[in-house]
Chains A and B, each alone.
Chain A
């Protein structure tokens, strides 16, 4: 099998798996006061320190959550609520047109339910949000902006955003900026303090840890209203019994991924560049989407003109090759990607795209398998056409 969908989830690292199993064998609620509880608490706090050190943050700034979606919701809604409470005029939310649904839908929800006024920063043809656009957006009524949220790197097309520059613009106006760095950590250098962002989302299963555990790194001066009320386990911001084993495995994976990031990126980018070159040779009309230079090392995202992405996926899947068309709705129906549409693609091009993402287990044999299967798949998919009515 050729697994080319590491951006969806990547295999757990052995060290993380071993840490998970070892910790899961131990009993103890990290909030309990006896010896077993203290032992669990110690593991959580050691993990917090590891995560903080790896991300350039202080331990107190790390809030463990149930993963990327929760972290994004906590940041976007929580900072909005807290800042609006402090000043009722702050009802604006500034985001970008290419966010993951965990941010996109949270902002939409604030607009629909909380009277927020959402602005969506447009992107250029490579999927980049520019500091100029953010500056223009903040030129008027910046004092009414509750929160800015722009991702570190695109989960779909792999474009890496100028996050530090965006954060600097936000800081000029004293507005906190949250960034979804789920796709970035372990792939590119991510330093919370150096980036100047106020909040950063990271999750375990994209970097070799388990799914269902992640963190929101939150600067200490940023107030946030909780989503989940209860025992107040995490800084009174997030309640719920701590998943000690998951947190330990997450921290081990994150620390390992960050430590090896440079050599990982060099190896995987070389493999990815080979994939891109050979896809273009095999299918000359294929269009590489996203920034050709500032992109995640494992990401290759193409449009195949005249093909439906879901047909290509089916045909490659039948050859044991796993890849992705992008976002899917609850019924499993592929929707045209809002990211590609925001980049100026028409719905035909958006619907003809396929994402191949490499990771720590990727080999050149997997790229070979893709290249062997791709031309016939493209040929067949082109003959099959799309699903939309032709009229």
Chain B
């Protein structure tokens, strides 16, 4: 076995997680072409696949399973379906609902990476004799063991991988990080993969119609409560469930009366205990300090002193420069300029700017 230049050796046994989409199909193809012994696995995440979304929007329909199988056929690799529905329900879907119920805004893709793909699946793969899991995530993982943003910044997924530990990353391969999505699609066509022009998946795969609020209402029921003005303490409207709101939200507040100053109001906070949604002007949203819990540090040894870096506070969000300090079980970021709409439950991911791709230093879950 010899190094292949991206930190792994060739000829190792790898398990390719194949969603049925174009990215994971090309990732598996590249791993096979690099000389690895690749086995494809489609993760069945829906308890009852037919009830989840149809067409190409999600990642867990029967059609997706078939697409993954056809891609494996074209690549000439073994293919199996692993039923992860029970774990996915417990670790991702139930967690998603519980987080909203607690007034936070979870990121289920991140949770799925943390608990399913790079935990349950990776552990099982290793036990079965595989050396690594390969996925179609758009991020770079080099010989230096550092996780970097994809060259395609619009498709970069380093944010949702930022929760992975060094141990998890040491058994992961992301072969697509040096390519743009356009290049990946062109390569899929060249390789004769029928999924080449399959639309991108988006939204949340287990929310069938994209109606998150309806999905939550079905599970949490309605719980009418007050919408309160932050400055005056006055009740300015009613809501049917505080869980349906996200910090920074402006639309769909259904306020009874306009603010005295006539300016739009935003959700500032959600208090599950009193079932209250607090609203206020945009500037009240701004925060300049973020507390995180369950920190993970992968960009080197855990820093004893505060680190100057950039932080990203939500998927596809802008970065802002900050001073980040990691304590025992927490993380504190002093933002160099205030940021609006920071929601508890999302991740804060710290990056070090680098010409070869910004490097993920670490992450934590944003605390309330």
A381:B128 contact, CB within 8 angstroms: yes
B82:A315 contact, CB within 8 angstroms: no
Selecting from B83-91, B170-178, B261-269, the interface stretch reads: B83-91
Greatest chain A CB density within 10 A among B90, B123, B128 is at B128
Tell yes or no: A219 within 8 A of B by CB: no
- B15: nearest chain-A partner, CB-CB: A314
Greatest chain B CB density within 10 A among A310, A333, A388 is at A333
What are the interface flags for B260-303 relative to A under an 8 Å C-beta threshold, 1 for contact and 0 otherwise? 00000000000000000000000000000000000000000000
Q: How far is the CB of B257 from chain A (nearest CB, A)?
A: 47
Kindly state the separation between the CA atoms of A127 and B80 in the bound complex, as whole angstroms: 29
B87:A314 contact, CB within 8 angstroms: no
A391:B90 contact, CB within 8 angstroms: yes
Tell yes or no: B140 within 8 A of A by CB: no
- B121: nearest chain-A partner, CB-CB: A387
A385:B124 contact, CB within 8 angstroms: yes
B44:A333 contact, CB within 8 angstroms: yes
What are the interface flags for A279-318 relative to B under an 8 Å C-beta threshold, 1 for contact and 0 otherwise? 0000000000000000000000000000000110111011
How many residue pairs link A and B with beta carbons under 8 A? The number is 56
Given A311-B128, A331-B44, A331-B49, A318:B86 Cβ within 8 A = no
Kindly state the separation between the CA atoms of A25 and B49 in the bound complex, as whole angstroms: 44
Q: How far is the CB of A219 from chain B (nearest CB, A)?
A: 40
Kindly state the separation between the CA atoms of A100 and B120 in the bound complex, as whole angstroms: 33
B83:A387 contact, CB within 8 angstroms: yes
Tell yes or no: A332 within 8 A of B by CB: yes
A331:B128 contact, CB within 8 angstroms: no
- A388: nearest chain-B partner, CB-CB: B86
Residues 342-391 of A contacting B (Cβ, < 8 Å): 380-381, 383-385, 387-389, 391
Tell yes or no: B214 within 8 A of A by CB: no
What are the interface flags for A175-214 relative to B under an 8 Å C-beta threshold, 1 for contact and 0 otherwise? 0000000000000000000000000000000000000000
A387: B residues at CB distance < 8 A: 82-84, 86-87, 120, 124
B65:A332 contact, CB within 8 angstroms: yes
Q: How far is the CB of A280 from chain B (nearest CB, A)?
A: 24
A311:B124 contact, CB within 8 angstroms: yes
Contact of A330 among B62, B87, B123, B128 (CB under 8 A): B62
A333:B81 contact, CB within 8 angstroms: yes
- A390: nearest chain-B partner, CB-CB: B87
Q: How far is the CB of A93 from chain B (nearest CB, A)?
A: 26
Tell yes or no: A334 within 8 A of B by CB: yes
A333: B residues at CB distance < 8 A: 44, 81, 83
What are the interface flags for B96-134 relative to A under an 8 Å C-beta threshold, 1 for contact and 0 otherwise? 000000000000000000000000100110011100000
